[in-house]
């Protein structure tokens, strides 16, 4: 009987031991149920947010003209390609012997008509000649003056002059060639100042106007961005591209900027102060809207919490958050694609949202 009682007591003790072990094992499993996921986070800091439109533009010379002959003649001399000229300097000289002879004849004819008119004017004042004779002399004088003016212009046109300061980039004729009125002689270009021409989509017509700030990046030149402002904004929409033209004028010291260069433009739409800015990739989207993972501190450990957000303006790799995030919140910005709500976070790197935004802006520059 004693042995039987002892066996019953030992059996009951063993049963309670097994139950206690099972409960302990279950509690341990619950505590370790959350996955430990490696992520990177940012701590939200208020920042200013510049909303840019990214476009491509083309460089054009501010002064670029094909200079043509205005009178017929044979080329006696012409400047070489690459020569720099000031406004009024000669580009080419035509053979002006016939034109000069015509000018001298017109000058003599005008002097004779003027002298005749002066003599007849005195006689007309004394009523010696008729009104018709006086008017005829005056008409002849005026006609001779017009012929002289025409000859003077032809003589001036025989010397082709630079209409503005610049450099000869192309020469279309050679010495000895006969040119006609309107025939191109040289291409004269001034690149001391240039303009960048770009097309702005029509939906921004109320935002991008003259004076709008622009950041300019020259991919062909090893230099930082160059600030500028829109100097001209067109009022006409191109029906093919649905854009309107804007121009940005720039000084060009050293003339490193060449016409027809392609440039990248960041045209500023607006600037928001004290905004919450996070990387655009941190926002997950579905049919219900946008969501982010926020780090929720629980007894020193951090767990993923999925919260809805409402976003605003976006520029490049950054987006503005309007609702759902506050200053000081810690947001997951890397590793969230495999993350689930309730997962424990193994934070590999944390930085301020301002530092993250600066790095993303710098990396986005052309």
Residue 74 belongs to a domain:
no
Examine the fold and report which residue of 270, 296, 330 is the final residue of a domain before the chain moves on: 270
Residue (of 292, 296, 361) closest to 332 by Cα position = 292
Buried b (16+ CB within 10 A) or exposed e, 219-238: eeeeeeebebebbebeeebe
Distance CA 278, CA 263 (A): 28
Residue 366 pLDDT = 56
- Same domain, residue pair 261 and 303: no
Residue 124 pLDDT = 81
The answer to whether residues 311 and 353 touch, using CB atoms and an 8 Å cutoff, is no
- Same domain, residue pair 201 and 58: yes
Residue 241 CA: distances (Å) to CA of 56, 214, 235, 313: 14, 21, 14, 25
Residue (of 343, 352, 206, 215) closest to 279 by Cα position = 352
Residue 7 belongs to a domain:
no
What CATH number does the domain containing 142 carry? Answer: 1.10.287.470
Residue 68 belongs to a domain:
no
- Same domain, residue pair 281 and 263: no
Examine the fold and report which residue of 219, 247, 270 is the final residue of a domain before the chain moves on: 270
What CATH number does the domain containing 262 carry? Answer: 2.40.30.170
- Same domain, residue pair 256 and 328: no
Residue 253 pLDDT = 85
Q: Domain tally for the chain? A: 3
Tokens of 188: 């004269």
Tokens of 351: 């930085």
Residue 238 belongs to a domain:
yes
Residue 17 pLDDT = 45
Tokens of 83: 């020569």
- Same domain, residue pair 353 and 302: yes
Residue 8 pLDDT = 46
What CATH number does the domain containing 293 carry? Answer: 2.40.420.20
Examine the fold and report which residue of 229, 246, 270 is the final residue of a domain before the chain moves on: 270
Low-confidence ranges of the chain (pLDDT < 70): 1-33, 223, 364-366
**Residues in CB range of 67: below 8 A, 6 or more apart:** 91, 160, 162, 163, 184, 185, 186, 187, 188
Residue 27 pLDDT = 35
Residue 11 belongs to a domain:
no
- Same domain, residue pair 252 and 313: no
Question: What is the domain extent for residue 144?
Answer: 96-157
CB atoms within 10 A of CB 257: 22
Q: What is the pTM of this model?
A: 0.65
- Same domain, residue pair 262 and 283: no
């Amino acid at each position: 009987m004693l042995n039987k009682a002892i066996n019953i007591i030992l059996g009951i003790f063993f049963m309670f031991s097994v139950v206690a072990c099972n409960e302990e094992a279950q509690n341990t499993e619950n505590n370790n149920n959350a996955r430990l996921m490696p992520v990177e986070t940012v701590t939200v800091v208020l920042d200013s947010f510049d909303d840019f439109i990214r476009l491509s533009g083309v460089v054009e010379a501010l002064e670029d003209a094909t200079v043509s002959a205005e009178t017929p003649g044979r080329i006696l001399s012409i400047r070489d390609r690459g020569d720099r000229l000031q406004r009024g300097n000669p580009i080419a000289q035509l053979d002006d012997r016939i034109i000069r002879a015509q000018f001298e004849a017109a000058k003599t004819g005008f002097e004779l008509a003027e002298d005749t008119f002066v003599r007849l004017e005195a006689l007309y004042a004394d009523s010696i000649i008729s009104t018709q004779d006086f008017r005829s002399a005056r008409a002849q004088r005026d006609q001779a003056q017009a012929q002289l003016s025409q000859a003077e212009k032809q003589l001036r046109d025989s010397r082709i002059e630079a209409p503005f300061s610049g450099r000869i980039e192309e020469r279309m004729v050679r010495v000895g060639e006969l040119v006609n009125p309107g025939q191109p002689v040289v291409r004269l270009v001034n690149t001391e100042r240039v303009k960048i021409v770009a097309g702005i989509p029509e939906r921004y017509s109320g935002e991008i106007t003259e004076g709008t700030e622009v950041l300019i990046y020259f991919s062909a030149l090893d230099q930082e961005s160059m600030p500028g402002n829109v100097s001209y904004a067109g009022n006409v929409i191109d029906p093919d591209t649905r854009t309107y033209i804007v121009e940005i004028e720039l000084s060009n010291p050293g003339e490193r900027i060449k016409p027809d260069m392609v440039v990248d433009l960041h045209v500023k739409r607006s600037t928001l102060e004290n905004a919450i800015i996070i990387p655009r990739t941190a926002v997950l989207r579905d049919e219900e809207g946008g969501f982010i993972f926020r780090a929720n501190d629980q007894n020193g450990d951090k767990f993923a919490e999925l919260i809805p957000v409402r976003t605003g303006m976006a520029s490049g790799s950054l987006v503005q958050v309007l609702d759902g995030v506050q200053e000081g919140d810690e947001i997951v910005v890397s590793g969230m694609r495999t993350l689930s709500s309730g997962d424990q976070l193994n934070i590999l790197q944390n930085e301020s949202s301002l530092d993250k935004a600066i790095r993303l802006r710098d990396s986005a520059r052309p």
